[in-house]
Amino acid sequence: MIKFAYVTFALVFGFSVFAVAQAAPAANTPATTPPNAPSAAQPVSKFTGTKIGTLAVEQAIAASNEGQRDLEALSKKFEPKQNELKGLNDEIDSLKKQLNTQQDKLNDESREKLVKQIEAKQKSFDRAAEDAKEDFQNQAGEIENRILQKMVPIIQKYVSDNGYGLLLDTDQAMTWPRGAVILAGPSMDITQQIVDAYNAQSGVAAPPASGATPKPAKPAATKPPASAPPKQK
């Protein structure tokens, strides 16, 4: 996961940047064409080798110098929205605690007013969080797709030059038993080789050593949806 206010985004609504890569194709794209497939005009290499390799496509995109740079820039762009959402979420939590601790002391009118205030702010938060999530995913998906389009010919050249006849995407292995990959040993993985080849061709400098390498993984923990405020009896 890229270094960003993901801690807070995971806290308030939780999502994976890299889920966007699985978005449906555009309306004018044939249903049988994968959304990230090379264009028809792009020549496809003929693979005559016999070796089998594996590649974590999303991980390669995120680990490339260009991917780290652009996803980090996107992260910083969304920091103000992330802070805004966290502030609103904290405000809702504070009001709920107030209701839980003071409801026995409040009269019916005050209690109902506080409940409605919480509900209104919760609806506002939910709308803003969903909009931010969609916007972030869309922009992250554009970055991924742009890099992937440039990475495809590098992948094709590498597998052709090194005698591969079959290459499997291990980022999709979690779909087994319906997926193609059941088990894959590390000796078959060419993800780092593809990252190195892409970095050499892109000319994008490596990020500072202190920067964390982004990993396409879901947040380790997310905050469960807040419970609805007690209703007036």
> Using 50, 70 and 90 to split pLDDT, how confident is the model at 183?
confident
Q: pLDDT value at position 48? A: 79
Per-residue pLDDT at 173: 58
Q: For Cα atoms 203, 25, 2, give the angle at the middle one, nearest 5 degrees.
A: 45
Give the mean model confidence (pLDDT) for residues 86-91. Answer: 96
The reported pLDDT for the residue numbered 71 is: 96
Placement of tokens 């260009």 in the chain: 66
Q: What is the mean pLDDT of residues 12-32?
A: 36
Identify whether the C-beta of residue 82 lies closer than 8 Å to the C-beta of residue 133: no
pLDDT at 41: 42
Q: What is the DSSP string of 54-74?
A: EE-HHHHHHHSHHHHHHHHHH
pLDDT (tens digit per residue) in 110-133: 999 999 999 999 999 999 999 999
Of 209 and 142, the one with more pLDDT: 142
| Residue 121 confidence (pLDDT) | 96
Find how far residue 213's CA is from the centre of its chain.
Answer: 14
The count of residues in the chain is 233
Let me know: does 17 contact 71? Beta carbons within 8 Å: yes
Rounded to 10 degrees, what is the CA torsion of 4, 20, 133, 219? -50
At 176 the pLDDT is 58
Selection from 223, 193, 228 nearest residue 85 by Cα: 223
Tell me the pTM. 0.67
Q: Report the alpha-carbon distance of residue 127 to residue 123 in Å, rounded.
A: 6
- Determine which of 10-14, 38-42, 101-105 has the lowest per-residue pLDDT on average: 10-14
DSSP state letters, 114-161: HHHHHHHHHHHHHHHHHHHHHHHHHHHHHHHHHHHHHHHHHHHHHHHH
Helices (H), 162-223: 191-202
Higher pLDDT, 134 or 214: 134
The larger pLDDT score, comparing residue 29 to residue 74, is at: 74
| Mean predicted confidence (pLDDT) in 31-51 | 55
Average pLDDT, the chain: 76
For the chain, domain boundaries? 6-22+46-202
Please, which pLDDT band fits residue 35 given cuts at 50, 70 and 90? very low
